Amino acid sequence: MKLELGRIFIRDVAFGAETRVENGVLTVNQEELRKLILADERLVAVEFHIAKPGESVRIIPVKDVIEPRVKVEGPGGMFPGMIAKVDTVGSGRTHVLKGCAIVTTGKIVAFQEGIIDMTGPGAELTPFSQLLNIVVHATPREGLTQHEHEAALRFMGLKVAAHVGQAGKSVQPDEVITYETLPLLQQVAKYPNLPKVVYAYMLQSQGLMHDTYVYGVDVKKIIPTFIYPTEVFDGAITSGNCVSACDKNTTYHHQNSPVIEDLFERHGKDINFLGAIVTNENVYLADKERSSNMTAKLVEFLGADGAIVSEEGFGNPDTDLIMNCKKIEAKGIKTVLVTDEYAGRDGASQSLADADKAANAVVTAGNANETIVLPPMAKVIGYPEQANVIAGGWAGSLRPDGSIVAEIQVITGATNELGFNKLSARGI
């Protein structure tokens, strides 16, 4: 598959009479969005905000972050199986409104959603502080079940991102980047002397709203399967999980997967990137055995010399990570893991819940238990009291002056296991 991503650099965002992009400025009509959102009877009120880099703004709790994109040429539409009809994406041309995002917040159903600060020490730990954010704050109807509540907010974000993305459909991009993965035998033949690398893409799927979707299918209901990397860039994977904010993959993370970006960058130079295998992170041992068996089998079947395996979340999924590693390595295929750590606030505890000598090449995205003080902000969008119950916070995390003391676990994307962050580790 060959996909062209036309990047339209957004330099400013404002509300106005018409949703459009002109001279790098994205203007958004609030009433269009309000009508779109409140057509869902599960939502009774919505308000909109703009949060810009450097502003004294805190967004809490963050449900999802999504990049506005639009399909210009080729089959399918944005978020197939969710918003667009089910069709295979990943080819043709897609336009991207680069530098901005849709951020969803409001009365969130779970306690693990995160914080985005647009300035201060917290802003240094999240990539989303560098974006022009259109923040959608929604109020759900009373009496919804937890799953109805979560679904309403999830679809709201996707619908808004798809609608705003339409503004870039007829705009000439500032740059066009082309990505291509050939059918397997052609891909192997193109670079016969380069080591063949496969990406095993672990997706959160532990249930109880710890869910991720591929073409609209809850990943815990699938067995591992091959996917063209360009499908990921084209919206085939969407987030629906409510895990700890620091290492949750938002939809934006999937749309801009740095693991896939980096593998494409090395492709044809020192590796032959064959494609990706999406796999899940289930709760029960039998499901873990099944998925790790299938993942290792697919890596071997594709003829890979090496595999990159990235985790999402921590604790229970650490077992899936190590099982994938052991079984792939047992087939004589070199494996590199990407994870983060929960090593205690002093960094002295065992950082993963599982381990094995086969896991001898590991990239870390940092220790999520490290503590931080987030200063008060002039404006808070959402509910600051959530800091007292959010994963990584505790009773009293929100101080009387509006500052927050907590683990960096509360910050959206702080230790993201796709490497979409600034933290790692060094030897001392």
Contact 292, 216 (CB under 8 A): no
The rounded distance, in Å, linking the Cα atoms of 270 and 320 is 29
Is 242 a catalytic site residue? yes
Alpha-carbon dihedral 268, 196, 314, 402, rounded to 10 degrees: 0
Tell me whether strands 175-180 and 132-140 are parallel, antiparallel or unpaired.
Answer: unpaired
Type of residue found at 242: C
Q: Count of CB atoms within 10 A of residue 174's CB?
A: 12
Which one is catalytic: 100, 242, 246, 325? 242
Contact 418, 310 (CB under 8 A): yes
Among residues 398, 396, 395, which one has the least CA distance to residue 377? 398
The set of catalytic residues is 242
